[in-house]
Structure 1
Amino acid sequence: MTRQCWLLTIAFLICIGITLSAAKPRLLIVSLDGFRHEYLSQYSFPTLNRIQEQGVKTRHGMQPTFVTMTYPNHISIATGMYEEDHGIVHNRFFDTKLQKAITFGTGDEGQWSDPKVEPLWITATKQNKKAAVIHWPACHNEFHGIRPLAYTKVYSDAVPFREKIDQAIDYFKNSSFDLAMIYHFEPDKQGHVYGPDSIETYTAIMRLDSDLNYLLIRVNKELDDDLNIMIVSDHGMANTTRIVQPFLEGYINQTAVETNMLDGPIFVLTPRPGYFNEVFNGLRRIPNVTVYKREDFPEKYHYAKASHRLGDIIVIPNGSDTMFSRALTTVVPSKGNHGYDNSIPSMQAIFMAMGPDFQQHLTIDSLKNGDIYQIACHILNLVPNPYATAGSLKNLTHIFRERNNQSSQLLINVSLIILLVLFTFIQ
């Protein structure tokens, strides 16, 4: 090959490289724990309102999976799976197969042995994408021998939201990452302690709104607004006025049940041999609750199949103002809680999105949090995990737009000019 041909070939490859680089999609997912969808209409938030108006927003929020708690729903968002399929059924639970208690901080102790369970950051990593996962539940765990390129090894509430934002922007700017996922524990903390309608919860969200403005400024200045952003939450928050203590109040006897129980927004337990009817009938005496045998639990919740992580009896309140406690001394409930029926308004999460791959000024009715995995795979050109069946793009294809190719076309034109000059030079 002649020297002139080599020059043309190199220039052509540079042209292709520039074009591909300019079109590379990038995605940031931010989850704000306990951000109830109704907060968006209850108050006015400058940055959140701007994101909604510029991009995609919902009328009725995003539906979480049942049970509407933090750990289970962050895994549903990440995997696109229902809780009975990915196996995280509570913030803390006992696995009878592993004979281990599983919580947020559990290390690599076999809880992810099911090869069907695959978070987005693992899907991306397996398909040669750079993923950074910042404080997201389970990001410190290994999935089938694979970890993302960057992840938080030890979780802490002490890390400010802006520090997490800085980490994500630096990954995109300096290390050419394709995906970053941020979890932040507010305003869930304030909602529990002070209640969802408190000034403390409002103040926390206003601070988060300011931090999101900081994010948008950095994206504009340092990434030329070429970043897709989804702002989501895991569940809502409701006012709590009642606590039920089945043992203390004499509905059942503690000696009649196994020690592994779930309490909080639901009460789940297993009677000892010979005590099933006694325990079941005792729980049915509690006012304003519904008691199910696990195998009879409504299929619409997609919850009860994980039998090795649930008890034989499931009790749920008929409203969203009740908590359960196994304690034998009187307990005062926190002012706000969640975990209730995932169809009620107070449990709906938030969803909004903006960026080069999202439509502008679009309002949709609602979506499910299992859809987030599918949306992310679409944007990043990933082949989704076939077992991610809790979500779909079937009714969401209209939220996407073709990427803005103006910058890409400009670079292509410059490259073609370079080619023309080189070609003229070698003649």
Structure 2
Amino acid sequence: MEINPYLDQGEAKENNPCDELPEGPERDNCAKKHTEGAQGTKMGLVWWVVWYISMVLALPSSGLSPFPKILLISFDGFRHDLIDPNLVPHIHKWATEGTWYKNGVKSQYVTYTAPNHLSIASGLYEESHGIVSNYFYDPDTNRKFDYFNMTKKPDIVNASMDTSWFNADPIWLTNQRADKGRRSASWYWPMGEVKYPQAPHVATHAVQWTDYRNLTQWMNDCDFVLKFFTDEQTPYNFVAWYVEEPDHTLHLNGFNNGALNKKLEELDKLFEYLLKRMEAVGLKDMVNVILTSDHGHSEVLDEDHVFCISDHINMTSGFEAGDHMIYPKDEEHAIEIFNNLTKAAESGKYKVKITWKKDFPDKFHYRNNNRIGRILLEAEIGSALSFNCKQKVLEETYGRNGKVKFNSSTHGMDPNEPDMHGILVMNGPAFEKSIQIQEIPENIDLYEFMCEILKVKPSPNNGTRQSVVFDALLSQKEKMAKSFGKKDEVVDETDLTKQGQNKPKQIHPYLDVVTNSMSFLFILAPAMLIVTLFLCYGCRHTVCKVNDVSSNFLKSYFLRFLNHAIAALFMTHLEIYDIHL
């Protein structure tokens, strides 16, 4: 009966070249070598499979996100010149090892906490994102904003978190929107928990601001913050963390009575703890840390330099107030208030500026929003202002016959004043090492800067890629040199990160995992090997069975090529990673 070769008749017996030899010692030797060769090939394949599995298992397991990672930290009110080795030795040492903006970072007007934290997060002027002070009034809706509950009014905090207050796309949402695998957390960051107009609206995880100042609790917070990055199931790649000191201590004590030094010591211990924990959990060289503050602080000279607004105008009716501005209800009352305050300020006793909003300087970008009051008050360096004080009471408490020495500092002044400059230091895999930059960036430039690090498309903002803050990024040639472990021979290439256009091509992080050198060695190369062996196995049982000469030729050259290729590949990667056997 004729057998159809295309029907499944079971595997045909493999052609053995030794069968053609006459029986005798020569045929026996041939059969022995043939069997040993087949066994050797099988054992070789088993050896490579075992090697591959063992090397993959030997790779350090990591729950880290494949996306670039940022930890953004704000120490409220930390003035730029407080990074001193005698005050904060650990922060100072860390600063000298990374990129340190020695003269600080410039805040937006007005130099208060709530508006500047949103400017940092969104890259927008205060007139653009709509949070124009810590507490203020909206004449269009007849509502008041007071996120920090400074007015102590019931339910004012919840009302201040309504979406309608906010016109911004903070960095945590920009990050999440770029890819489903990206996650962002906000830990006490002012307004980090609110719902914003643009999807995905809220951070992946957010904890609302809480009023406490305890080192032990800060350290617990640190542990929670780092767990976001190391979570093996849902790792985060962006976390914003806010600490409300030394601002609170400075308001109550100023710079000179010793309380500030004790608080700075606690903050330094916190930062030391952060660095140790990052190293312990393997984040030291994986996370880009940016340490900044919302504004600086200025010492108030004495109680005579406090401008008590209620001493000069009738506080009972006729206007609404923010923490540094007035919303008169009619023109007549507006003129009366302005004249009374101007007269008091011009008496020479107080260093305070009284300005109509329409006359406020363009450079501050603080006119084009109805939430900004018609009359603006600004204390100059060395002075302060308040709606809630009386000069007589201050004199009795702190004056010549007072029993308490006046110690206080404040903020809210011209952001160009050095006293108003906050800190800006960064350290991590994306940044230059051990450089100090004298130029002063604006805090609105940090949003676009962080987008560059995270490799996400920024939303419209008021920052600029021409900012000196981009000098902190490793240049393209340095990145290449670092990637290949070479320090002397680098490609002379223009630093695209400092240009406003022609951004470097962004590689998807999952693709990068496959194409980087170590992944190629342990993942892609073995996979290619297994596929090749599979194809050759199929070829051996089909095409090569037709012709023994072709079969022997392919086997010989394939094995020779395989040995050389694997050896070359393995040794090349050992050389790249400077591994010595």
Q: TM-score, normalised by structure 2?
A: 0.64
Aligned to 2:374: 312
- TM-superposed CA distance for 1:277, in Å, is 2.8
Query: Structure 1, residues 265-311: CA drift from partner, whole Å, max 9, x if none?
Result: x343425342333322222112333221111111111122222x222
Checking the alignment, whether the CA contact within 8 Å between 2:189 and 2:208 is kept in structure 1 is no
Pairing partner for 1:220 from 279, 291, 294: 279
The aligned amino acid for 2:335 is N
SS in 2 for 1:411: helix
Match among 161, 185, 189 for residue 132 of structure 1 = 185
Residues 396 and 350 (structure 1), Cα distance of their counterparts in 2 relative to 1, 3 Å cut: closer
Amino acid at match of 1:219: M
Contact 1:369 1:391 in 2 (8 A): no
Cα distance in 2 for residues equivalent to 1:311 and 1:413: 64
The yes-or-no answer on 1:280 pairing with 2:330 is no
Tell me by how many angstroms 1:97 deviates. Answer: 2.3
Structure scoring higher RCO (CA < 8 A, sep ≥ 6) equals 1
- Say if 2:100 is the partner of 1:40: no
Contact 1:71 1:90 in 2 (8 A): yes
- After superposition, where does 1:191-230 map in structure 2 within 5 Å? 191-225=250-284, 226-230=286-290
Q: Secondary structure of 1:357's match?
A: coil
**Aligned letter for 1:131?**
S
Q: For residues 25-47 of structure 1, give each alpha carbon's deviation from its aligned partner in whole angstroms, at most 9, with x where no partner exists.
A: 11100100110111124844222
Answering whether residue 286 of structure 2 is matched by residue 231 of structure 1, we say no
Larger Rg: 2
The answer to whether residue 357 in structure 2 is matched with residue 302 in structure 1 is no
Return closer, same or farther for 1:228/1:88 CA change in 2, 3 Å cut-off: same
Partner of 2:355: 292
Partner SS state of residue 113, structure 1: helix
Which residue of the other structure, out of 244, 248, 262, is the alignment partner of 2:307?
A: 244
> How many pairs were matched up?
406
Query: How far apart in 1 are the matches of 2:343 and 2:381?
Result: 16
- Give, as a single letter, the amino acid of the residue that structure 1 aligns with 2:141: L
Measure the CA separation in 1 of the matches of 2:165 and 2:321.
23
Q: How has the CA–CA distance of structure 1 residues 376 and 321 changed in structure 2, closer, same or farther, with 3 Å as cutoff?
A: same
The yes-or-no answer on 1:377 pairing with 2:451 is yes
C-alpha separation between the residues in 2 aligned to 1:66 and 1:133?
24
2:309 is paired with a residue of what secondary structure? Answer: coil
Describe the SS at the equivalent of 1:48: helix
Choose between structure 1 and 2: higher helix proportion.
2
Task: Determine what percentage of the aligned residue pairs are the same residue.
Answer: 24
C-alpha separation in 1, matches of 2:85 and 2:381: 22
Q: Determine if contact 2:72/2:241 at 8 Å carries over to the other structure.
A: yes
Does the 8 Å contact 2:85/2:93 carry over to 1? no
| Contact in 1 for aligned 2:65/2:229 (Cα 8 Å) | no
The corresponding residue for 2:144 is 101
Per-residue CA deviation, residues 41-88 of structure 1 (Å, 9 max, x unaligned), is 484422212221111101210111111111111111111111111111
Within 1, Cα distance between the matches of 2:387 and 2:159? 29
Distance 1:190 1:346 in 2: 16
1:54-93 pair list within 5 angstroms: 54-93=97-136
- What CA RMSD, in Å, does the superposition of the two structures yield over aligned residues? 2.9
Residue matched to 1:187: 246
User: Aligned in 2, Cα 1:219/1:405: closer, same or farther, shift over 3 Å?
Assistant: farther
Shift of 1:110: 7.4
TM-score of the pair, normalised by structure 1 = 0.86
Q: Deviation per CA, 1:193-239, whole angstroms, max 9, x where unpaired?
A: 11123421111112111211211122222134211000011111111
Q: Which amino acid aligns with 2:379?
A: P
Q: Which residue of 2 aligns with 1:253?
A: 314
Change (3 A) 1:107 1:252: closer
Does residue 151 in structure 1 map to residue 202 in structure 2?
A: no
- Among candidates 412, 424, 437, match of residue 339 of structure 1: 412
Which amino acid counterpart does residue 226 of structure 2 have in structure 1? Answer: I
Letter aligned with residue 363 of structure 2? K
- What is residue 3 of structure 1 aligned with on the other side? none
Q: Distance in 1 between matches of 2:166 and 2:118?
A: 15
How far the C-alpha of 1:340 sits from its partner, in A, is 1.0
Q: 1:230 to 1:346 in 2, by over 3 A?
A: same
Deviation at residue 132 of structure 1 after TM alignment: 0.4
Cα contact 2:228–2:236 (8 A) shared by 1: yes
In structure 2, relative to structure 1, the CA distance for the partners of 1:22 and 1:278 (3 Å cut) is closer
Per the alignment, residue 221 of structure 2 pairs with 164
Counterpart Cα distance in 2 of 1:224 and 1:256 = 56
Are the counterparts in 1 of residues 298 and 419 from structure 2 also a CA contact under 8 Å? yes
List alignment gaps of at least 5 residues for structure 2.
Answer: 1-48, 149-156, 346-350, 395-405, 486-515, 537-581
Aligned partners of 1:292 and 1:272: how far apart in 2?
Answer: 17
Structure 2 residue 152 is matched with structure 1 residue 120: no
Instruction: Give 1:374 shift.
Output: 1.2
- Tell me if structure 2 keeps the 8 A contact 1:107–1:141: no
1:254-273 alignment runs, 5 A limit:
254=315, 257-258=318-319, 260-263=320-323, 266-270=324-328, 272-273=330-331
> Which residue identity is paired with 1:246?
I
**Ranges in structure 1 where 5+ consecutive residues have no aligned partner:** 1-6
Q: Give a deviation string over 1:167-191, Cα, whole Å, max 9, x none.
A: 1110100131010000011111111
Cα–Cα, structure 1 residues 318 and 190, in superposed 2: closer, same or farther, change >3 Å?
closer
1:107 & 1:125 partners in 2: Cα distance?
25
Change (3 A) 1:22 1:301: closer
Q: Deviations over 1:130-189 (max 9, x none)?
A: 000000111221012611110014634267221221111101001310100000111111
User: How far, CA to CA, are the matches of 2:159 and 2:339 in structure 1?
Assistant: 39
Letter in 2 for 1:46: P
Mapped to 2, the partners of 1:330 and 1:33 lie a distance apart of 31
SS at match of 2:111: coil
Distance in 2 between the 1:209 and 1:327 partners?
Answer: 34
